[in-house]
């Protein structure tokens, strides 16, 4: 395999969005982070590295319109100035994928190296699948990515998985880690309520042993992924923007 360093060759900064846990909002937060960078006028790409369950096309309402190769390169979608590539854009929506690890790594390599990204990307944001497996190994060991944002809810079950994920990321050479405590609270009758228990954001960060963290509330506009609303919501954009 040709080893390239994404940091040097594809984007000035590359950041993986990870969590040991599924369903905590990695894809949603990856999309919000990309929107916050694009709104700042930065050149941003968003790679969906979740091969089995690509969510980014759903969030950005990208249809699988038979993304053709142009000059042997995949054409990324461009939504709100964000260059996007995902397995969901390359395979029919209802097709399931049954691949072993080496095939996953090959596909990540294909999407990273054979997509017609802009030359001077400031950021490559990479949404990753749940867990810490083949894709994370490929991204860190073969592409030199050394920064990640972990996503957790305040639930004990999520936190325990994220503690393991943080350790795994450290073992993979990640040296810059921050944390989003997602769905941290819901506002109900003017009161902020943590529906996942009593663990405060500070306690979550302490348990996961991460200093830099933010919290994002559970909001209907985020659940429905209203892009225009997200782009207008400076509170959310500044929150995630503060991590980079
Ligand atoms: N802050 C939020 N407020 C409301 N809903 C949210 C929020 N964050 C995520 N969600 C919702 O939670 C669900 C899971 O989010 P998402 O798919 O982003 O998680 P994930 O960690 O990427 O999941 P997977 O592990 O399957 O890839 C989605 O229905 C999403 O709309
Ligand atoms: Mg996801």
Asked whether residue 7 is marked as a ligand-binding residue, the answer is no
Secondary structure element (H or E) that encloses residue 228, with its range: helix 227-232
**Probe target for ligand 1 pocket from 20, 24, 25, with the most ligand atoms within 8 Å of CB:** 25
Nearest CA to ligand 1 atom 30: 223
pLDDT of residue 205: 97
Residue 72 is predicted with a pLDDT of: 81
d(CA 73, CA 159): 40
Task: Give me the residue spans of the domains in the chain.
Answer: 6-241
Q: How far is the CA of 149 from the centre of ligand 2 (A)?
A: 13
Nearest CA, atom 9, ligand 1: 25
Per-residue confidence band for 71, with pLDDT thresholds at 50, 70 and 90: confident
Lowest mean pLDDT among 41-50, 55-64, 68-77, 216-225: 68-77
What are the φ and ψ backbone dihedral angles of 57, each rounded to 5 degrees?
-60, -35
Please state which architecture CATH assigns to domain 6-241: 3-Layer(aba) Sandwich (3.40)
Q: What pLDDT score does 1 carry?
A: 45
Any ligand 1 atom below 6 A from CB of 216: yes
In this prediction, residue 93 carries a pLDDT of 85
Residue nearest to atom 19 of ligand 1 (CA): 25
| Mean pLDDT for all residues in the chain | 93
CA 62 to the chain's CA centroid = 17
What band does 10 get if pLDDT is binned at 50, 70 and 90?
A: confident
For residues 5-23, average pLDDT: 85
CA distance 57 to 48: 9
Q: CA dist 44 to 38, 40, 49, 206, Å?
A: 6, 10, 16, 31
Mean pLDDT over 67-75 rounds to: 78
Please check the confidence at residue 4 and state whether its pLDDT lies above 90.
no
Residue 176 C-beta-side C-alpha neighbours within 13 Å: 10
Mean pLDDT of the region 153-158: 96
What value does the mean pLDDT take over residues 87-98?
90
pLDDT at 155: 96
Q: How confident is the model at residue 130 (pLDDT cuts 50, 70, 90)?
A: very high
Could you count the other beta carbons within 10 Å of the beta carbon of residue 21? 23
Annotated binding residue 27: yes
Which segments of 152-200 does DSSP mark as H helices, in order? 156-171
User: Counting atoms of ligand 1 from 1, which one is nearest the CA of 183?
Assistant: 1
């Amino acid at each position: 395999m040709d080893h390239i360093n994404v940091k040097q060759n594809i984007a000035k900064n590359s950041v993986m969005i990870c969590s040991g846990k599924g369903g905590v909002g990695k894809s949603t937060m990856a999309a919000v982070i990309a929107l916050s960078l694009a709104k700042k006028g930065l050149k941003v790409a968003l790679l969906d590295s979740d091969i089995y369950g690509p969510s980014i096309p759903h969030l950005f309402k990208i249809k699988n319109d038979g993304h053709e190769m142009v000059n042997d390169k995949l054409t990324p979608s461009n939504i709100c100035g964000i260059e996007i590539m995902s397995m969901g854009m390359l395979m029919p929506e209802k097709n399931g994928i049954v691949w072993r690890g080496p095939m996953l790594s090959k596909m990540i390599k294909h999407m990273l190296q054979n997509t017609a990204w802009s030359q001077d990307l400031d950021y490559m944001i990479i949404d990753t699948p749940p867990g810490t497996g083949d894709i994370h190994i490929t991204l860190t060991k073969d592409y030199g990515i050394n920064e990640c944002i972990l996503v957790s809810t305040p639930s004990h079950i999520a936190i325990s998985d994220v503690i393991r994920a943080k350790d795994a990321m450290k073992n993979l050479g990640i040296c810059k880690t921050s944390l989003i405590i997602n769905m941290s609270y819901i506002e109900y009758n003017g009161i902020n309520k943590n529906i996942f228990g009593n663990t405060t954001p500070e306690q979550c960060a302490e348990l996961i042993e991460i200093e830099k963290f933010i919290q994002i509330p559970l909001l209907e506009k985020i659940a429905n992924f209203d892009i225009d609303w997200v782009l207008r919501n400076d509170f959310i954009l500044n929150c995630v923007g503060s991590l980079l």
